[in-house]
Amino acid sequence: MSAQPHELATYSAQFERYANALTAAERAPRSVQFSRFLASGFPDKHQEDWRYSDLSRLAEQNYEPDVTTADGLPIVLLPDADALVYINGHLQGAPSTSRWHSDTCELPPPATGVDALNAAFASGGLRLRLDRNTKLEKPLQVLFISRAEAQASMSHQRHRIELGDQAEATVLLDFSGGGGERLATHFFDVRLGRGAKLTLYRIQNEAAGGTLVTRIDAKLSRDAKFEALTVDLGGGFIRHDLDVVLAESGAEAIVAGLYAQAKNSHIDNHVRAVHAAPHCTSRMTYRGLVDEKTKAVFNGKVVVQPGAQKTDSEQRIANLLLSRKAEVNAKPDLEIYADDVKCAHGATVGQLDEVALAYLRSRGIAKEVARAMLLRAFALEILDRIEWPALRTRIEAALHLPSELTVDFEA
Amino acid sequence: MKNIESMLLEITNLHARVEEKEILKGLNLSIKPGEVHAIMGPNGSGKSTLSNVIAGREGYEVTEGTVLFDGKNLLDLEPEVRACEGIFLGFQYPVEIPGVSNITLLKAAINARRKHQGEAEIAPNDFLAWVRDRAKLVKIDPKMLSRGVNEGFSGGEKKRNEILQMLVLQPRLMILDETDSGLDIDALKVVSDGINALRGPERATVLVTHYQRLLDYVQPDYVHVLARGRIVKSGGPELAKELEEKGYGWLEAA
Ligand SMILES: Nc1ncnc2c1ncn2[C@@H]1O[C@H](COP(=O)(O)OP(=O)(O)OP(=O)(O)O)[C@@H](O)[C@H]1O
Ligand SMILES: [Mg+2]
């Protein structure tokens, strides 16, 4: 490992201060995690999973664990939704929201790397638990706002979403940044009971100085349905892992994403679907609009375990490279240990269709407008999946996309 | 002597190249408002190249000569500005653009032109009525307009869609590059009616075609033969009939 313990001195000092405030019982498991973090360091390019996303530069940073409770930031709440707001890891507002919040969190088995760092410092966060046959009346918008502090700062949270059998919910994980040097890590544990249905959006619009590592681990029971949609709009260094285990037959995971508009960002999406039971379905559809000096990494993997017959999976990744300085590494991957399966995958990296652009211009449409129309057309595959109008509108506005005209000639 | 002032399009000694290869080699052509010119000529002689150079398509390099439109130097203008000035090119091979609907394209195009002329955007109801009317003329079901541009359209539908765009935009110079190719008799009639509907003293038309049959429906004032990068012969409608009979060989030899 490249990040040697002595290079992590700032983290050790921060951890010592943090651990001193804990009880002995609280401290023990955290210390285990932290020593694992010291031993493994930040992941770097020598690790296959982090090949294009070297985090070892963070070793030299000095992030203060954030302790202030902030307020007064502009917060964009979506209409017809319930909201839960965290600023730099701290729950905002009335305890009425505590219905979905927990101060404490469960720690994973001793981990390595960023997982260990998160586990060492993590506070609680979203804790959504639905009993069987219940439905969250309104979508839940969970805002994670990064606010600039006087010094570089960091926060780490662990969250949990648990839906009982046949329960249903729509949740938006809404990350945004107000500037400053920030490191935030968020781990989400998602458990879906039989026939449960979760629609999970993850939208990220961090500031340029923001380093955000998010990871969603989802486990699906029989006939559960998981729809996840991620949109990356900004950020300095962004790494997102989505791991779905289709644990029982009939489970279905439909995951999609768009990374776009980011300026000079590093955006790495790692998506895995593990088919551990027969008759499960997974769909991965990702689109990238990669401009300026942005570097986008997409790694999609489908694993079909022995016995997972009649697996139906598909991965489709398409990218538009919009500038010479932009970079895309897109890799679909398949590991199949069953013989009666249907698995399709494909990844493309292309450029804006110059012929289409010329056609639109020949009709009088200015180059910039024509370009935006084509970008919108490309992103449509993902945007069309957003079944929450206010959210879709907000994303389209953030992308500066022209609106599409719909008319009804029957009228 | 030609009277430059009264010309709508005035092309003088035009040389143009594509990928280092000279295609147009000193072409001259003058078109007055109200006229219909047919351009015929062998495959690869440069007819589409000429159309694209007038429309301002990227990838064509003009090395010599001038193109004036209404007295303005066209070669200085971006393709979208030329369109807003009133030049319309009906493409030989219209492209499909999934994700951008026909109706969105039409509205963006109309409003771009209005903006260029310093006018306000068209009112939604006026726009719909205008488009619905023109669609009827070319027998396009308005429902098809909600689909992506030319997406899944048949060859004939694509050509009719080009004519629809032209009718909606009301250009001053219409250049139709083999819009008649691949059409059945009924579609040819529809397309011809569309072109004739726009004929008028202010507008001019350039028909690039290989076939006399279009010229039966849309009577040209002049017929030109483009070969080896220049106009090698010009005449009246009878020239087209002569070409249909004799081919181009007798001109090549000349
Ligand atoms: N983008 C291009 N790259 C290379 N060569 C080209 C390109 N466009 C045109 N050409 C060449 O220029 C010449 C003229 O082509 P053009 O399409 O103008 O002919 P045309 O008269 O329209 O022929 P047709 O009757 O077959 O439509 C041809 O030799 C063609 O191969
Ligand atoms: Mg041609």
**Ordered per-residue pLDDT tens for chain A, 411 residues:** 444 556 799 999 999 999 999 999 999 999 999 999 999 999 999 998 999 899 988 988 888 775 544 454 557 788 889 999 999 999 987 666 678 999 899 999 999 999 999 999 999 999 999 999 999 999 999 999 988 888 889 999 999 999 999 999 999 999 998 878 899 999 999 999 999 999 999 999 998 889 999 999 999 999 999 999 999 999 999 999 999 999 999 999 999 999 997 788 999 999 999 999 999 999 999 999 999 899 999 999 999 999 999 999 999 999 999 999 999 999 999 999 999 999 999 999 999 999 999 999 999 999 999 999 999 999 999 999 999 999 999 898 888 877 766 666 654
Q: For residue A102, report the distance from its CA to the centre of ligand 1, in Å.
A: 69
Task: For chain A, list residues whose CB is within 8 angstroms of any CB belonging to chain B.
Answer: 353-356, 358-367, 369-370, 373-374, 376-378, 380, 402, 404-407, 409-410
Identify the burial level of A73 via C-beta atoms within 10 angstroms of its C-beta, where 0-12 means exposed, 13-18 middle and 19 or more buried: middle
Closest CA to B111 of B99, B121, B96, B126: B121
Fill in the amino acid letter for A172.
L
Ligand 1 and B18: CB distance under 6 A: yes
| Measured distance CA(B235)–CA(A136) in Å, rounded | 78
Q: What is the pLDDT, as a whole number, of residue B204? A: 98
DSSP label of A107: P
Q: How far is A379 from chain B (nearest CA, A)?
A: 9
Q: How far is CA B63 from CA A347, B13, B20, B55, B66, in A?
A: 41, 10, 11, 16, 10
* Domain edges within chain A: 74-351, 353-411
| Beta strands at A101-102 and A168-177: parallel, antiparallel or unpaired | unpaired
Q: For residue B44, report the distance from its CA to the centre of ligand 1, in Å.
A: 5
Averaged pLDDT, B2-22: 87
Has the ipTM of the complex gone over 0.85?
yes
State the SS3 of chain B: CCCHHHCCEEEEEEEEEECCEEEEEEEEEEECCCCEEEEECCCCCCHHHHHHHHHCCCCEEEEEEEEEECCEEHHHCCHHHHHHHCEEEECCCCCCEEEEEHHHHHHHHHHHHHHHCCCCCCCHHHHHHHHHHHHHHCCCCHHHHHCEECCCCCHHHHHHHHHHHHHHHCCCEEEEECCCCCCCHHHHHHHHHHHHHHCCCCCEEEEECCCHHHHHHCCCCEEEEEECCEEEEEECHHHHHHHHHHCCHHHHHC
Asked if B100 and A377 come within 8 Å (Cβ–Cβ), the reply is yes
Residues of A in contact with B128 (CB under 8 A): 407, 409
Q: What is the pLDDT, as a whole number, of residue A409? A: 65
Of 1.50.10.10, 3.40.50.300, 1.10.760.10, 3.40.50.720, which CATH number belongs to B1-77+223-254?
3.40.50.300
Chain segment B121-169, per-residue pLDDT in tens: 999 999 999 999 999 999 999 999 999 999 999 999 999 999 999 999 9
* Domain edges within chain B: 1-77+223-254, 94-173+180-200
Closest CA to A212 of A58, A316, A335, A354: A58
Averaged pLDDT, B222-226: 97
Q: What is the pLDDT, as a whole number, of residue A95? A: 61
The rounded mean pLDDT for chain B is 94
| Beta strands at A90-91 and A82-87: parallel, antiparallel or unpaired | antiparallel
Do A401 and A372 meet the contact criterion of CB atoms below 8 Å apart? yes
* Percentage of chain B modeled with pLDDT above 70: 97
Torsion of CA A136, A139, A140, A144, to 10 degrees: 160
Ligand 1 and B44: CB distance under 6 A: yes
- Domain B94-173+180-200: which topology? Rossmann fold (3.40.50)
Q: What is the pLDDT, as a whole number, of residue B244? A: 87
Do A119 and A152 meet the contact criterion of CB atoms below 8 Å apart? no
Asked if A376 and B142 come within 8 Å (Cβ–Cβ), the reply is no
Q: What is the pLDDT, as a whole number, of residue A1? A: 46
